[in-house]
Structure 1
Amino acid sequence: MAASVVQCHVTGRKWTMAASSIALVFAALVLCLCDGQYEAEPVPLVIWHGMGDSCCNPFSMGAVKKMVERQIPGIYVLSLRIGNSITEDMKNSFFLNVNEQVDFVCKELALNSLLQNGYNSMGFSQGGQFLRAVAQRCPSPRMKNLISIGGQHQGVYGFPRCPGEISKICDQIRKVLNFGAYTRYVQEHLVQAEYWHDPLNEDEYRNSSIFLADINQEKQLNNSYKNNIQLLEKFVMVKFLNDTMVDPPDTEWFGFYQSGQSSKTVTLQESTLYTDDRLGLREMDKAGKLVFIGVEGDHLQFNEEWFTKNIIPFLL
């Protein structure tokens, strides 16, 4: 009977045996896989940019993508583009209904063959809470780790400033939010209104918010949201300790203003969302799945050394 050769590509060893010796072939393959030189394929990474940014800006998401690829050779990184062009992607970060964006991303991820064994995700600023919505609403393919960098998980109550060339757009948005954030038209057509959280008018917020109040279980309980988010291995929240853009910065760790006023804040652990465990965060916290990281600096200001030390370990 002719002989067969099994080649272990990792170690370079060759094993020659009779073709009928299936058990020996299996043993050889096990030795290959168990050899110390074997390395698993990197877990793919999905990135969602923040307000006024785009998937491929070479100075923001493009630079992050390259940084991850340098640190983890061979990794597949998908930087989400919401729209048919980079310009449309940027505009949609202001004006496309968030629920439509999340639905679009869920469908895109489900059709991507490279993500079917699971993926990690990393959201910047508003991309953090948007990816959390993906985790809660679309458990397949499975999101393993969610890394929120400056995400506003309890929303914002203030719009202090905007970066660079889009400051004029932000000035207009600020005026709209201050006077009509909870009107139906604004909710459906202005992204930032969908995570506007007015602590002085909690009932209006709960009744009118079409996105944040829903994913935070403040309208009605959705058991699938709670079950799906607990499938995460880690939920990492990065807070910028000197943030001048996000109001209040505590929202980046799921804290917010105490209801009825806009000066004193409460932590996640002090909130009813946690004590009532409507979203499962208390259970995740006790299981060690919640990770809170603070970084000195203003909104989204960090360097590669910090990123390599604090974020890369959750992508491996």
Structure 2
Amino acid sequence: LSPLTDFNYICMNLPCDVFMCVVGDSCCNPLSMGSIKKMIEEQISGVYVLSLMIGKNVVQDTENGFFMDVNEQVDTVCSQLAQDKRLQGGYNAMGFSQGRSFCTRAVAQRCPSPPMKTLISVGGQHQGVYGLPRCPGESSKVCDMIREALNAGAYSDFVQKHLVQAQYWHDPLNDDLYKTHSRFLADINQERAVNETYRKNLQQLQKFVMVKFLQDSVVDPVESEWFGFLKTGQAKEMETLQESVLYKEDRLGLAAMDKAGKLVFLGTDGDHLQFSREWFIHNLMPFLRS
């Protein structure tokens, strides 16, 4: 499959259901989300796939992936899911890339009804990003200068509310600033006061599958796709999910889920969102059939 661009939703009910997301894409693009929807329908007889549009039309759907407050997007999705009678028995969810993978996770944490059964995150930045696509700050002085410039404005109230990418910008050098002013990511990652409801709801998942693209040049740092990130206070050394405070204090319930065998870490060669039909069918379809 060609690389997907980034932001859209699909929900499925079969025997099970799914909802998918990606940014810069729309619900109905036949070359990206549309092709995934078609492939799932071909592989699972009787599957119900719901493509959710955020806005009144495809243009608004695409624009909202860049400029609509992610919290408002989550509310919109929760409302649509709750109104779909075919999803009331539970559904599987799939999120692709920028924003929507952890946006999908926010739905699981904030909206337990109808219940999400399995969450599949394909190249999602669960700990956010601290770099530009194909411009890693840790290996380029120019990219690092741009990264530092972004820090100056990323946490302003206006930018946080109106630019989706700023809502998952995670600056490890200014941890207090990030935790105080991040409208979305710091909240769903429990980096302020712990919301016990978030932790309880996420642990209701049967499986939480995270796909990491081993040659990813878009997500920086790529470890975010497996919930890893840069250690606080510097911008070079990484830590895994298991090494993080988030895991050690079990602020999201991920440690308990890991011990229960609910976390699945999949890696695949290739750049961002580049995978074959065969890989998808072999590695991801079993979770959608369950």
Which fold has the larger relative contact order, with Cα–Cα distance below 8 Å and residues 6 or more apart in sequence? 2
Residues matched between the structures, number = 266
Partner of residue 74 from structure 2, selected from 102, 126, 133: 102
- Note the residue ranges of structure 2 that are not aligned, 5 or more in a row: 1-12, 136-145
Q: How does 1:197-212 map to 2 (within 5 A)?
A: 197-212=170-185
Once the 2 structures are TM-superposed, how far is the Cα of residue 45 of structure 1 from its aligned partner? 1.3
Alpha-carbon separation, structure 1, partners of 2:216 and 2:261: 26
Residue by residue over 1:65-92, the C-alpha shift from the partner in whole angstroms, topping out at 9 and shown as x without a partner, is 0010111121001122111111111110
- Note the residue ranges of structure 1 that are not aligned, 5 or more in a row: 1-39, 163-172
Query: What one-letter code is carried by the residue in structure 2 that aligns with 1:268?
Result: L
**1:112 matched residue in structure 2:** 84
Matched-pair identity in %: 62
Q: How does 1:157-172 map to 2 (within 5 A)?
A: 157-161=130-134
**1:192 matched residue in structure 2:** 165
Query: What one-letter code is carried by the residue in structure 1 that aligns with 2:133?
Result: P
Alpha-carbon separation, structure 2, partners of 1:174 and 1:189: 19
Does 2:119 match 1:146? yes
TM-score by length of 1: 0.82
TM-score by length of 2: 0.89
Alpha-carbon separation, structure 1, partners of 2:127 and 2:20: 21
Q: How does 1:282-301 map to 2 (within 5 A)?
A: 282-301=255-274
Maintained 8 Å contact 2:151/2:171? no
Does 2:54 match 1:82? yes
Maintained 8 Å contact 1:47/1:77? no
Residues 247, 63 of structure 1: CA spacing in aligned structure 2 closer, same or farther, 3 A cutoff?
Answer: same
Q: Which has the larger radius of gyration?
A: 1
**Moved segments of 4+, more than 6 Å:** 173-176
Residues 188, 175 of structure 1: CA spacing in aligned structure 2 closer, same or farther, 3 A cutoff?
Answer: farther
**1:71 matched residue in structure 2:** 43
Partner of residue 124 from structure 1, selected from 96, 102, 110: 96
Partner of residue 181 from structure 1, selected from 126, 145, 154: 154
Secondary structure of 1:214 counterpart: helix
Secondary structure of 1:232 counterpart: coil
Residue by residue over 1:266-293, the C-alpha shift from the partner in whole angstroms, topping out at 9 and shown as x without a partner, is 0000000000001100000000000000
Maintained 8 Å contact 1:45/1:75? no
**2:239 matched residue in structure 1:** 266
**Root-mean-square deviation (Å):** 1.7
Maintained 8 Å contact 2:216/2:272? yes
Residues 260, 176 of structure 1: CA spacing in aligned structure 2 closer, same or farther, 3 A cutoff?
Answer: closer
Does 2:249 match 1:280? no
